[in-house]
Amino acid sequence: MEYWLPVVYVSIMGLALLVYVILDGYDLGVGMLLPAASEAEKDTMIASIGPFWDANETWIVLGIGVLLIAFPKAHGVVLTALYIPVTLMLFGLTLRGVAFDMRVKAGDKRKGMWNRAFFIGSLVASMSQGWMLGFYITGLQNNPVSLIFAALIAITLPALYVMLGAAWLMMKTETELFNKAVKWARIALLPMGICLLLVSIATPLASSVIAERWFTLPAAIGLLPIPLSCALVYFGMSWLLSKPVLLKRGWGWLLFGGLVVICIMASLGLAYSIFPDIIIGQMDIWTAAAATDSLLFLLYGVAITLPAIIGYSIFVYRVFHGKATELSYE
């Protein structure tokens, strides 16, 4: 039990953060695409994420909450090292929340200002999350290599989010906005692919621990399905975006599904790279874990909370499925 409890908690934390990247990723992406749309289209874009974005952010609360209650030693180290980007991320998410309501309630004269605020909040939150991920992968080491790698991830993650946002809009909108979403996805696909390729090359260079795990036989052969599947999905998405007839027939969900596959494969690769450490080269999950009695007690709360979040999310997505309608605050 002492061995498996930390594994269970780190698995739940990893699942929560993966789901957050996918779900909140698309609504952050929609926010970053907002300046490229007309005023009427901006209302539809906001309406397409309106019922979901609060629920999407619940997953990051769960992930960080598990880090705090199950791995308190790691929580202190991680959040101390990432204090500035975490603060910026919270600022961005808060700005998004305020702008979401104020863009209409403040009146037409200030609507443009709040649209810009929504875009800025989305961009700041996305880049902050990318920076945190890059800095974490390098073991929270404050050196030039870590800083450069973190900056690279800070560019890569928003590119992925923009693709998720465009794919989401292709599923939720019609006519001219749908056509724009296809155009945005085509523009974002190559930068996202280049960034992901550069990250794949830079990751083993930035971390000797990860390099050893990936390029040692027979592990290197067993891990080939991860990069190969990502490459196949990427070229599949490129082919799909070149077929507007298929997209108009409702095949846009395949683009979103392909991005989900890439996220899952990347998460599996990251999990393999760092396990059993929770901070690479510094602390494993058993060293960082709370007392066994505490973990057993908290497991009851997690057993209630996790299914509740999953159930609520499924319910919301079922109720508000289909194309987005005109935004209304009445």
- Burial letters 63-96, b for 16+ CB under 10 A, else e: bbbbbebbbeebbebbeebbeebbebbeebbebb
CA distances from 177 to 182, 238, 252 (A): 9, 20, 13
**Topology annotation, domain 4-319:** Formate dehydrogenase/DMSO reductase fold (1.20.1630)
pLDDT at position 212 is 77
Q: What is the identity of the amino acid at 102?
A: M
The pLDDT profile of the chain, 330 residues, written as one tens digit per residue, is 567 888 989 999 889 989 999 998 998 999 999 988 888 888 888 888 888 877 888 888 888 888 888 888 888 888 888 889 999 999 998 998 888 878 777 666 778 888 899 999 999 999 999 898 888 888 788 888 788 888 888 888 898 999 999 999 988 888 888 889 999 999 989 888 888 887 787 777 767 777 777 777 777 777 788 888 989 999 999 999 888 888 877 788 888 999 999 999 988 888 888 888 888 778 888 888 888 888 888 888 888 888 988 888 888 888 888 777 665 555
What stretches of the chain show up as alpha helix (H) in DSSP? 4-33, 39-49, 53-70, 72-81, 83-105, 111-137, 144-172, 175-206, 208-214, 219-222, 225-241, 244-246, 252-274, 285-288, 292-319
First to last CA, the chain: 52
Question: Quick one: three-class SS letters along 49-116?
Answer: HCCCHHHHHHHHHHHHHHHHHHCHHHHHHHHHHCHHHHHHHHHHHHHHHHHHHHHHHCCHHHHHHHHH
Ranges of each domain in the chain: 4-319
- What pLDDT shows up at residue 261? 93
Kindly report whether the global pTM for this prediction surpasses the value 0.85. yes
